Amino acid sequence: MNKYLKYGLWSVGAVVTLLVAVLAYIALTFDPNSYKPQIIQAVKDSKQRTLRLDGDIKLRFFPSIGASLGKVSLSEFQSEQEFVAVESASVSLKLLPLLYKQVVVDEVAVSGVKAQLVKYRNGKTNLDDLLNTEAAPAVPPPAAATPTRRRRHRQRQPQRQK
């Protein structure tokens, strides 16, 4: 067997073994459930809604990278009343596009969904604040500090004919 081919195969085998060892280490030591308080607080700060993660968060690495959640619920905007509840949810991403810094969702599975959608008289719904990607300013911008010039309009008097 060629010497370069032999060393090349050994190198590829070592890299694959190292990647498998790193993934196994992460899977055995990383606990996503320890981040629940930070996730709940982030939702509270950004969306003014209360998130409840009653079930466990589980990570998957094969056949695709993903996560699955147990029982989850989300409250109404600035209220404790339940807006949506899910018995279980999972999402997985395709692995190859991640190497090119692209996120491609492979699968989304949700079961046991209960939602209360309300449409108000002004045409808005209780879902609008979640769908709005632009942050609306809480306070209108202050008026300009420089004084504005006002034009005085003279009323023309009709000229008298002689």
* Spans of all domains in the chain: 1-30, 33-131
- For residue 111, give Cα distances in angstroms to 15, 89, 108: 39, 6, 10
Provide the pLDDT for residue 45. 94
- Mean pLDDT confidence for 40-68: 90
Of the two residues 30 and 143, the one the predictor is more confident about is 30
Inform me whether the pLDDT recorded for 143 exceeds 50.
no
Q: In which residue are the tokens 């969904």 written? A: 113
Tell me how far apart the alpha carbons of residues 68 and 42 are, in angstroms, rounded to a whole number. 19
Count of Cβ atoms closer than 10 Å to residue 83 Cβ: 20
Looking from the CA of 92 toward its CB, the CA atoms found within 13 Å total 12
Provide the pLDDT for residue 132. 75
Question: What is the value of pTM for the model shown?
Answer: 0.63
- In the numeric block, which tokens belong to residue 81? 């009343």
